[in-house]
Structure 1
Amino acid sequence: MADTILLEIVTPTGVALREQVTDVTAPSVAGEFGVLPGHLPLLAALRTGLVTYHQNGQEHRLAVHHGFVEVADDTALLLTERFAVKDDVDVVRVRLRLKEVDTELDHWQGDLTDPRRRALIEEEQWLATELELIGDPPPPMVREDTRFLAEHAEAPPVDEMVEASQPDESLTDHKKPGSPFPDPK
């Protein structure tokens, strides 16, 4: 088994990063995940946030926008709309633009599913991630990106939830003779 993995980050303009690293941690829509050499194949949707990796004993951090990640054969390939390292961030420009975006969102009068509103939320998340990358705390309220959420999600019917809460007798061994489990009464 290899002791490193290849980390590749690709944006619409080309390969932004290509490094042999010992591990990678990245944000997905299901939560943060880590990758080590020998990781099982994985395909996940990226969410805007920080990617951390280690190389030669040093930790490196960078920002990625939403996209996708594929892990296979000791390679982590991140396809993303945007990429930034600490030196790319102009804190004054980011803070000013974040204030403009927040003001526009705070006073939004249109449809909540309007593509312009969604674009503003994505920009707000990107700007907050850039601030987090340089160690400048982002504002306490950053709106949730709804890109990967079902528009008309509904809770499952109650009878399905009740049925699923009952133990499957075929998966338990408490009825077998000599079982260490007490007989339920």
Structure 2
Amino acid sequence: MPTIQVSVVTPDGKVYDGAVDMVVVRTVEGELGILPNHIPLVAPLTVGAVRLNKGTTVEKVAVTGGFVEVRPDQVTILAEAAELPSDIDVDRAKEAEKRARQRIESAKTDAIDFKRAELALRRATNRLDVAGK
């Protein structure tokens, strides 16, 4: 079965590099599944888990925004931030989730603070989901 090469890169360096059967990313338009020989495209990403399917196993990478560039033989994810499950500090993510929920409750009248708190909550819950917690 053909594979596709995937690289997940942040400003701090490469987070993931390997060959997979399928990549699933969350774009601003919805989820996008990418198989080998996919048509070329570039799409903006939102907060979400990148799923990397290899046979019967699925690896996840927590991604916070950025872009995905697809070529027939390679997918490059240029992320603002990305973490493998083993790199996620679960206690820190739980604390961030708790703070975000508190800010959402206290920021109901301030639209800007509410949006910032909502985004922080999405980032924290995404990290916890990828970490399996």
Please give the TM-score of this superposition, normalised by the length of structure 1.
Answer: 0.65
Alpha-carbon RMSD: 1.9
Shift of 1:117: 4.8
Give distance in 2, aligned partners of 1:109 and 1:62: 31
Matched, 1:122 2:132: no
Percent sequence identity over aligned pairs: 29
Name the amino acid aligned to 1:127: A
Shift of 1:119: 3.7
Shift of 1:24: 0.5
| Bigger RCO of structures 1 and 2 (CA < 8 A, at least 6 apart) | 2
Instruction: Tell me the number of residue pairs that the alignment of Structure 1 and Structure 2 aligns.
Output: 133
Give distance in 2, aligned partners of 1:134 and 1:13: 20
Counterpart mapping for 1:1-185 below 5 A? 3-55=2-54, 57-108=56-107, 111-112=110-111, 114=112, 117-136=114-133
| 1:83 match: secondary structure | strand
Higher CA-based Rg: 1
| 1:40 match: secondary structure | coil
Please give the TM-score of this superposition, normalised by the length of structure 2.
Answer: 0.88
| 1:126 match: secondary structure | helix
| 2:62 match: secondary structure | strand
Shift of 1:8: 0.9
Shift of 1:64: 0.6
| 2:95 match: secondary structure | helix
Give distance in 2, aligned partners of 1:109 and 1:36: 42
Name the amino acid aligned to 1:20: A
Which ranges of structure 2 fall in alignment gaps of 5 or more residues? none
Name the amino acid aligned to 1:132: D
Shift of 1:90: 2.5
Question: Normalized per residue, which structure has more helix?
Answer: 2
Question: Normalized per residue, which structure has more strand?
Answer: 2
Give distance in 2, aligned partners of 1:111 and 1:60: 38
1:80-126 deviations in whole A, cap 9, x for unaligned?
A: 111111112222221122111211121116641x3x55443322111
In structure 2, what is the equivalent of residue 156 of structure 1?
none
Give distance in 2, aligned partners of 1:95 and 1:69: 28
